[in-house]
Amino acid sequence: MQSGQLPKAKIYLDTNRTIGTISPLVFSGFIEHMGRAVYEGIYDPSSPHAGTNGLRADVLAALRELNYRAIRYPGGNFLSGYRWLDGVGPRDRRPRRRDLAWQSVETNQFGTNEFMEFCKAINAEPMLGVNMGTGTIQEAADLVEYCNAPPGTLYADLRAQHGYPEPHGVKYWCLGNEMDGPWQIGHLDAAAYGAKAREAAKMMRWHDPSIQLVLCGSSGCMMPTYPEWDRIALELCWEQVDYHSMHYYASNSDGDTDSYLALSVEFENFVDTLTGVLRYVKAKNRSQKDVYLSWDEWNVWYKATAPSDLQGGWAEAPHLSEEVYNLEDALVVAQWMNVFLRRADVIKIACLAQAVNTISPIHTTRDAVLKHTTYYPIMLFSRLASGLALDVAVKSPLYQTQKFGDKPLLDVSASYDEERGTGGVFIVNRSRTESIEAELVWQALAPRQINAVYQLAGDDPKAFNSLDNPNRIVPVSVNPPVMDDKHVSLLLPPLSFTVLETRL
């Protein structure tokens, strides 16, 4: 490279070279009874922003902007000790209980029916978990009856008595949470879990054959039982389930930002391994059906992990794991979502963990809502990526990382939606110092124009938003470049996430 010349990259897009349909459910969230996610987060009757149902209007507005398609609930580790009957019926008769997962007091003032109201308010599908820790397969089946059966039998009638004569029609159900983890209440080994999940699934489906079920996979690729856990549980449950879950929390605890910014390599390795397991089990079980991946817990989480972030001291709604996100975290989140597009053939659900206050892009005080840096890549993807994922070819300069060797400076994905007449290109520049001049080349159908370009960038990877400075890291609109035949050129600043919205 001559001095004064910027490094160059080429991005080749071809609307005939596709990966698969982007499932809208990859833009989903997760709310657990943990810390201030529910109480003081989405539900706070004492807040000046609360509506008559106790839901906070300002939080709902911020969530609607993120356009989540489904919300997973009520946990997380909390799920494995949860008695769903505690959280329904007249509020003054609901018990206060000790939640052993987060050592907090659970008042049960928010439960299944309030969650349904919440989902309606943000136009998201409910995705309910059944307790496979202390819970029985009977209780799991009863909850399906309570939610989905027409009145006329015990639990459906109970729902009607509670004010909901119409079934809730919950389609997505998780068979427990992280049952491979020794920290889990009622932890089981893979064979014991597989047998229990299979029997629960059968009963749940007998109540409602239209439901879709998610099996617990490994709670991370660092688990000693990974990926054997996945193989064993899948072999036992293949015909009964539709999705297999994966969880991962990203960390830069060793301060190696160059490697941290290449983490999509690890995310893709995790997906590749599990895709291999899915293929193996399908073949071994001589099955005709497919099972897809549900990445139903993913996020950055490493700063707020002290014991006081994980144990509530038996308080109600304690401040737990209220991670503050910075620019480099937002760039990792953007790459993660690139992976959801690049592996759209197999990843069909993904839930950001979590949605409010606890490891979340949204932070509340009594009066205000703060949007962390990670809020913006989530919003841009969820609003602009739809239709088909394109198999993008990228020629990018490389940079050195300690953990993954030499990796491209650019991390890219793209979408193409014939029905909406739009497309999206999503580009992370991982360089801490270099702007990159990128040329985008459409090899088949080219867009008529670039509608808009949004850019999230900064010179300090540790920069974050705060109540005093809420707009330090927000996307700005950049003048869209004009198409030159089938090409456009674009300047990608260091530490940036750039999104092009194209009109076909």
x/- mask, ligand AHR, residues 39-58, rule CB under 6 A, reads --------------------
Question: What is the number of other CB atoms lying within 10 angstroms of the CB of residue 98?
Answer: 11
The count of residues interacting with ligand AHR (CB under 6 A) is: 12
Cβ proximity to ligand AHR, 40 vs 145, nearer residue: 40
Cβ proximity to ligand AHR, 77 vs 259, nearer residue: 77
Q: Is 32 in the site for ligand AHR (CB under 6 A)?
A: yes
Helix (H) or strand (E) holding 282: helix 264-284
**What is the closest distance, in whole angstroms, from the C-beta atom of residue 34 to ligand AHR in the complex?**
6
**What is the closest distance, in whole angstroms, from the C-beta atom of residue 496 to ligand AHR in the complex?**
28
Q: Which residues contact 58 (CB under 8 A, 6 or more apart)?
A: 49, 364, 368, 369
Q: Which stretch binds ligand AHR (CB under 6 A): 73-81, 206-214, 273-281, 337-345?
A: 73-81
**What is the closest distance, in whole angstroms, from the C-beta atom of residue 219 to ligand AHR in the complex?**
6
Cβ proximity to ligand AHR, 75 vs 135, nearer residue: 75
- Contact assessment for residue 384 and residue 422, using Cβ atoms and an 8 Å cutoff: yes
Q: Is 318 in the site for ligand AHR (CB under 6 A)?
A: no
- Name the 3-class secondary structure at 184: coil
Q: Is 75 in the site for ligand AHR (CB under 6 A)?
A: yes
Cβ proximity to ligand AHR, 260 vs 301, nearer residue: 301
- Contact assessment for residue 489 and residue 437, using Cβ atoms and an 8 Å cutoff: yes
**What is the closest distance, in whole angstroms, from the C-beta atom of residue 243 to ligand AHR in the complex?**
16
Q: How far apart are CA 398 and CA 404, in angstroms?
A: 12
**What is the closest distance, in whole angstroms, from the C-beta atom of residue 359 to ligand AHR in the complex?**
6
Cβ proximity to ligand AHR, 23 vs 219, nearer residue: 219
Which tokens go with 235?
């072999």
Q: How far apart are CA 391 and CA 398, in angstroms?
A: 20
**What is the closest distance, in whole angstroms, from the C-beta atom of residue 254 to ligand AHR in the complex?**
21
Query: How big is the chain by its Cα radius of gyration, in Å?
Result: 23
Cβ proximity to ligand AHR, 295 vs 416, nearer residue: 295
Q: How far apart are CA 425 and CA 408, in angstroms?
A: 17
Question: What is the number of other CB atoms lying within 10 angstroms of the CB of residue 39?
Answer: 22
Positive/negative CA dihedral, 99, 103, 104, 105: positive
Q: How many CA atoms lie within 13 A of 135 on its CB side?
A: 29
According to CB under 6 A, which one of 297, 322, 328, 411 is a site residue for ligand AHR? Answer: 297
Q: Is 200 exposed, middle or buried (0-12, 13-18, 19+ CB in 10 A)?
A: buried
The amino acid sitting at 311 is Q
| Selection from 311, 304, 297, 296 nearest residue 253 by Cα | 304
**What is the closest distance, in whole angstroms, from the C-beta atom of residue 462 to ligand AHR in the complex?**
23
Cβ proximity to ligand AHR, 75 vs 475, nearer residue: 75
Strand partners, 29: 71, 352
Cβ proximity to ligand AHR, 77 vs 374, nearer residue: 77
Selecting among 114, 145, 178, 501, the annotated active-site residue is: 178
According to CB under 6 A, which one of 40, 99, 178, 323 is a site residue for ligand AHR? Answer: 178
Active site residue 297: yes
Angle in degrees, 0-180, between the axes of helices 137-148 and 112-122, rounded to the nearest 10: 50
Cβ proximity to ligand AHR, 12 vs 249, nearer residue: 249
**What is the closest distance, in whole angstroms, from the C-beta atom of residue 62 to ligand AHR in the complex?**
19
Would strands 405-408 and 436-442 be described as parallel, antiparallel, or unpaired?
Answer: unpaired
Cβ proximity to ligand AHR, 292 vs 301, nearer residue: 301
Q: Is 354 in the site for ligand AHR (CB under 6 A)?
A: yes
Q: How far is CA 253 from CA 256, 259, 323, 334, in A?
A: 8, 11, 13, 19
Cα pseudo-dihedral 72, 75, 77, 78, rounded to 10: 180
According to CB under 6 A, which one of 15, 47, 77, 357 is a site residue for ligand AHR? Answer: 77
Ranges within 427-466 binding ligand AHR (CB under 6 A): none
Active site residue 228: no
Residue with tokens 């394109």: 390
According to CB under 6 A, which one of 7, 54, 76, 129 is a site residue for ligand AHR? Answer: 76
x/- mask, ligand AHR, residues 187-226, rule CB under 6 A, reads --------------------------------x-------
Q: Which stretch binds ligand AHR (CB under 6 A): 19-27, 70-78, 137-145, 464-472?
A: 70-78
The amino acid sitting at 112 is T
The amino acid sitting at 446 is A
Positive/negative CA dihedral, 473, 477, 478, 482: positive
Which tokens go with 65?
């902007």
According to CB under 6 A, which one of 15, 23, 177, 245 is a site residue for ligand AHR? Answer: 177
- Contact assessment for residue 496 and residue 428, using Cβ atoms and an 8 Å cutoff: yes
Q: Is 353 in the site for ligand AHR (CB under 6 A)?
A: yes
Selecting among 297, 323, 328, 501, the annotated active-site residue is: 297
Q: Is 242 in the site for ligand AHR (CB under 6 A)?
A: no
Helix (H) or strand (E) holding 70: strand 70-73
Residue with tokens 């897809």: 292
**What is the closest distance, in whole angstroms, from the C-beta atom of residue 485 to ligand AHR in the complex?**
48
**What is the closest distance, in whole angstroms, from the C-beta atom of residue 440 to ligand AHR in the complex?**
37
Name the residue whose CB lies closest to ligand AHR. 76
Active site residues: 178, 297
* Residues forming the site for ligand AHR (CB under 6 A): 32, 34, 75-77, 177-178, 219, 297, 353-354, 359
